[in-house]
A = this chain, B = another copy of it.
Amino acid sequence: MNPAATPLRLSTAQTDFEARFAARLHWSSETDHAIEQRVADILADVQRRGDAAVLEYTARFDGLQAASVAELELTQADFKAAFDALPAAQREALQAAAARVRRYHEAQKKANGEGWSYRDEDGTLLGQKVTPLDRVGIYVPGGKAAYPSSLIMNAVPAHVAGVPEIVMVVPTPVRGSVATGGSGAATAARGERNELVLAAAHVAGVTRAFTIGGAQAVAALAYGTATVPKVDKITGPGNAYVASAKKRVFGTVGIDMIAGPSEILVLADGSTPAEWVAMDLFSQAEHDELAQSILLCPDAAYIAAVQAAIDRLLPTMPRAAIIAKSLNDRGALIHTRSMEEACAISNRIAPEHLEVSSAEPHRWEPLLRHAGAIFLGAYTSESLGDYCAGPNHVLPTSGTARFSSPLGVYDFQKRSSLIEVSAAGAQSLGTVAAELAYGEGLQAHARAAELRLNDVPPMRGAR
């Protein structure tokens, strides 16, 4: 029997709309306490025992035995061989996607990622310099969520930023082994590699790579081992163990945002073919059962047309079961009073992906304050952005677009303030600084400013 997908139907005119909508949106990001504790133990162990601990956990969790971590390193030749073995169409698609992503991030760097300075009238120089990170680590999940596009989206901005060393970790579990314990019989078995990921590493310019994963890989990157170099920042998606490990090493290294389930919100005015919108909702739902697809539309007939398209198209989809579960459990088709109201609701959700499927997208865009990425117009399917339009597909999820941004060149750069106070500037600034420093009871701060004055006053409160 084919599964059916019937997303929750709501209308903002319903008196219980708020409560029902809130219930549908609810998702808890609480980390399991047991996972937290295991991750803390793994991190501490890798920090203490380095390579030996990494090898043990890789054998236990991935069923992958090796005599040394060096044996788990992939080479540039591995990347190139994987790339060369691909069908021409895939090779060209990978290169085309990487080129467009590179161009977009180069424009981003030029617009927002360069240093600046100005001089005061008295010659004092103020500004910021921008420098790339020295070395970054990219986590690439193994198994069902192994996405070469994700590697491109992480590695290319790092490259554009000027990061000289990009270290990838990607688990290659031995088939049949599971995360709760490796098979002792797996000795010398080769882990399962994703050739598209290796090919993407060739295209995206990964410097080094290790076939390790989980909290142990995060620990190796954060603390460094004899074999795995310590990085300055770790980006990339992963399971609950990886997310917990990244959160825990935050501060020792930088991390990107911790991602929740993926979401799409479609604002539709009814002008886009209903099948296109239905397929856009599917494209989010097919990720996993927790993914969330929501349609907001002021046209009830159009909502019915989208539901009909869902019914028609779902049976053709290879991932129909996942799509149906996601749409049934977390999806919603919401009838709004107006497009303006739809925009206001969207701002409350702060969706990861926001499609403005409208004949006049630029009318609504200025009303949209919080979103990871905004897809304007009927032709802009989210999937074009996921792979090759140019912008990054690593986006803030679960409402975190209220305070965070797409992954970008800026995530692989950092800034240093530049200050050069002239002799003249030190006279005016010194008086202000000293006044405030004495007020805070920090006399050495005050005195350091006063010593630079042409007429050094007596120290206040000297012993």
Binding site for B on A (CB under 8 A): 29, 89-90, 92-94, 96-97, 100, 104, 107-108, 111-114, 116, 118, 124-129, 131, 133-134, 147-149, 196, 232-233, 247, 250-254, 257-258, 273, 275-276, 279-280, 282-283, 285-287, 315-320, 323, 361, 365, 368-392, 395-396, 400-406, 408, 410, 414-423, 425-426, 429-433, 435-437, 439-449, 451-452, 459, 461-463
Extra contacts, 6 of them, besides A247-B251, A365-B418, A383-B449 (Cβ < 8 A), are A29-B251, A92-B435, A383-B437, A384-B426, A384-B430, A389-B419
A84 to chain B, nearest CB (A): 16
B388 touches A433 (CB 8 A): yes
Q: Can you list 13 pairs linking A and B with CB atoms under 8 Å apart?
A: A128-B408, A148-B439, A149-B440, A251-B257, A254-B400, A254-B403, A286-B444, A319-B441, A379-B422, A380-B421, A381-B421, A384-B449, A392-B417
A231 to chain B, nearest CB (A): 9
For A108, the chain B residues whose CB sits under 8 A away are 116, 128
B317 touches A439 (CB 8 A): no
B233 touches A443 (CB 8 A): no
B448 touches A374 (CB 8 A): no
Interface centre among A96, A403, A415 (most CB of B within 10 A): A403
B286 touches A389 (CB 8 A): no
A165 to chain B, nearest CB (A): 13
Q: Who on chain B is nearest to A31 by CB?
A: B251
Q: Tell me the bound Cα distance from A433 to B124 in angstroms.
A: 51
A416 touches B232 (CB 8 A): no
A133 to chain B, nearest CB (A): 6
Grouping DSSP codes into helix (H, G, I), strand (E, B) and loop, the A interface class, with mixed when no group exceeds half, is mixed
For A429, the chain B residues whose CB sits under 8 A away are 100, 384, 387-389
For A118, the chain B residues whose CB sits under 8 A away are 107
A445 touches B400 (CB 8 A): no
Number of chain copies forming the complex: 2
Q: Tell me the bound Cα distance from A230 to B373 in angstroms.
A: 24
B417 touches A372 (CB 8 A): yes
A416 touches which of B128, B371, B421, B441 (Cβ 8 Å): B371
A149 to chain B, nearest CB (A): 6
B116 touches A379 (CB 8 A): no
For A252, the chain B residues whose CB sits under 8 A away are 29
For A280, the chain B residues whose CB sits under 8 A away are 448
Interface centre among A258, A318, A396, A433 (most CB of B within 10 A): A433
A420 touches B462 (CB 8 A): no
B275 touches A432 (CB 8 A): no
Q: Tell me the bound Cα distance from A218 to B161 in angstroms.
A: 34
A311 to chain B, nearest CB (A): 15
> Given A384-B430, A463-B320, does the pair A417, B391 have CB atoms closer than 8 Å?
yes
A419 touches B384 (CB 8 A): yes
Q: Who on chain B is nearest to A425 by CB?
A: B379
A261 to chain B, nearest CB (A): 13
> Given A29-B252, A97-B432, A444-B279, does the pair A423, B379 have CB atoms closer than 8 Å?
yes
A403 touches B435 (CB 8 A): no
Q: Tell me the bound Cα distance from A435 to B417 in angstroms.
A: 45
A451 touches B417 (CB 8 A): no
For A247, the chain B residues whose CB sits under 8 A away are 247, 250-251
A460 to chain B, nearest CB (A): 9
A352 to chain B, nearest CB (A): 10
A293 to chain B, nearest CB (A): 10
Q: Tell me the bound Cα distance from A72 to B451 in angstroms.
A: 42
A374 touches B451 (CB 8 A): no
A282 touches B379 (CB 8 A): no
